[in-house]
Amino acid sequence: MPRLSEKEMDAITNNFYSCFCGIHLSEAESGISFVCSASRNDALKGFGCKYSIYVLVKEDACIVSYAPKYAGFFEELQEAGVIDILTAIHARFAIKKMQLMKFKHERVKEYGNARVLKKADYPLYEEFFRSTSPTADPTGWLQEYFEEKVQKEYFTGYFVNDKLVSVCDAPDMPYMEDTIQHTGIVTLKSERRKGYAKCTAALAAHHLIENGVCPQWECRAENTASIALAESIGYEKYGVAYILEE
């Protein structure tokens, strides 16, 4: 696959979030759009839950996508403004607020001791996983997951003294798999604030772009550290999503 251009990444990102909204964003560039979608009843691959309500606020547009069972609730908000809609949703539901990012251009060219992980790195990855996820049991699934992703060259990691200290992983994507890929980042607590996460995440984005896959980043809106990290390697703010998970 050829390297993606900025224009191509912008189009892919728009298409990706259009899938969540149930309407193409080119049809909802301004104003408020209400979308009642049966797809909101489906559990999302890689998420393990349904996004029964998904509200995207982006520049001058607000897209309100919801499962049919909430149609009555949103019918009463058809004439409301964005602030009133969000206020009403927050008053009734436990909403998760996510900052969505899109990749603009690469700002990091040196990656230190970060590299794309290989199948042979699994023992180091399992040690890393057990350190960062002490309550999770990797038995019977972690190696298969790791090997599937490294075959696609989706994992990057930072090494210090032959130890894996920071990893960009690649969760399953609910839409447009192998066209766009989320790059989660985890770093050992003892190795944070040393620039390792930045190098690892920058290499992950670079390698995806070089292989024709659009990098994607989103995090809790209150996670200012994650937003700053994303911006430091070339992402910019895209929009904010308000989500009811069920």
DSSP label at 38? G
pTM of the model: 0.94
Angle, vertex CA 48, rays to CA 44 and CA 54, nearest 5: 50
Across the range 83-92, mean pLDDT stands at: 98
Confidence of residue 35 (pLDDT cuts 50, 70, 90): very high
Q: How far is CA 74 from CA 65, 71, 77, in A?
A: 10, 5, 5
> Do the beta carbons of residue 57 and residue 239 sit within 8 Å?
yes
Q: Which pair of structure tokens corresponds to residue 60?
A: 């001058």
- Tokens at residue 230, please? 């994303």
The residues with which 55 forms a beta bridge, in sequence order, are 64, 242
Where does residue 85 rank: exposed (0-12), middle (13-18), buried (19+ CB within 10 A)? buried
Q: How confident is the model at residue 128 (pLDDT cuts 50, 70, 90)?
A: very high
1 pLDDT band, cuts 50/70/90, is low
**Over residues 25-46, mean pLDDT:** 93
pLDDT band at 232 (very low <50, low <70, confident <90, very high): very high
Q: Are 238 and 136 a contacting pair, CB within 8 Å?
A: no
The pLDDT tens digits of the residues spanning 172-231 come to: 999 999 999 999 999 999 999 999 999 999 999 999 999 999 999 999 999 999 999 999
Structure confidence at residue 29 (pLDDT) = 80
